[in-house]
């Protein structure tokens, strides 16, 4: 079997991929994640997953590379990682008391083919007071996460309901990925 590489700097993705019980290396790509205007969220996560996998695949042509990208979609807005506390607060205020979607795109790629897919999970937040949002921001958790929250951490307390794959919200739909990998290899 080709060596497996996870093209991600995310400790969550590394931990989740370990659930598959296949050996792999982590090699981080340096990809510009700026999204073009008017791109759909589905295109955004699949394009970025492909970009991340391709960057690592080009220097490791004998390997099978996995790239992934997660965004939060609230109404017509695509929320990535907040730039600062102010933006994180705005994101959380906009998610309060509402349903949003989390999209995670995944790309599996080797030198001759690629498989790209995405998972969509619907998440509903409780109504949040400004005080609740401020104390959540104080945990420091929001800043490296799409939509400014982590469902796996203190952010779990913000979530009223979830429909779909929990692990896709955390950053990697492991169960689907395991099946796609079996078909790919
Ligand atoms: C919504 C949500 C996102 N996230 C994380 C998953 C992703 O790591 C991050 C979204 O940013 P991404 O750009 O998808 O990933 P990343 O920059 O962390 O890692 P890399 O590009 O190197 O693979 O948000 C959570 O951990 N929990 C959550 O509940």
**Positions marked catalytic:** 69
CA of 128 to the centre of ligand 1 (A): 23
Residue 96: its pLDDT value, please? Answer: 98
In whole numbers, what is the pLDDT of the chain averaged over residues?
96
Looking at ligand 1, which residue's alpha carbon is closest to its atom 16? 10
Residue 17 burial by Cβ neighbours in a 10 Å radius (0-12, 13-18, 19+): buried
User: 4-184: which CATH number, 3.40.980.10, 3.40.50.11540, 3.90.950.10, 3.40.50.720?
Assistant: 3.90.950.10
ipTM above 0.85, yes or no: yes
Please state, for a pLDDT cut of 90, what percent of the chain lies above it.
93
Name the residue among 15, 17, 9 with its Cα closest to residue 180.
17
Residues 93-121: tens digit of each pLDDT: 999 999 999 999 999 999 999 999 999 99
Residue 177: its pLDDT value, please? Answer: 98
Q: If residue 118 lies in a helix (H) or strand (E), which one and from where to where?
A: strand 114-125
Overall average pLDDT of the 151-176 stretch? 98
CA of 86 to the centre of ligand 1 (A): 19
């Amino acid at each position: 079997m080709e060596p497996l590489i996870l093209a991600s700097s995310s400790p969550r993705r590394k931990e989740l991929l370990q659930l598959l019980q296949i050996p792999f290396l982590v090699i981080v790509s340096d990809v510009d994640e700026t999204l073009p205007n008017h791109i759909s969220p589905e295109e955004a996560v699949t394009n970025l997953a492909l970009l991340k996998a391709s960057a690592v695949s080009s220097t490791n042509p004998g390997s099978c590379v996995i790239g992934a990208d997660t965004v939060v979609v609230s109404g017509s807005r695509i929320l990535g990682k907040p730039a600062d506390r102010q933006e994180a607060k705005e994101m959380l205020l906009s998610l309060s008391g509402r349903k949003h979607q989390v999209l995670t795109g995944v790309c599996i790629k080797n030198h001759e083919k690629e498989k790209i897919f995405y998972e969509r999970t619907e998440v509903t937040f409780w109504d949040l007071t400004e005080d609740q949002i401020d104390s959540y921001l104080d945990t420091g958790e929001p800043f490296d996460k799409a939509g400014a929250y982590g469902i796996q951490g203190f952010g779990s307390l913000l979530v009223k309901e979830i429909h779909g794959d929990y692990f896709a919200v955390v950053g990697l739909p492991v169960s689907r990925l395991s099946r796609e990998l079996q078909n790919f290899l």
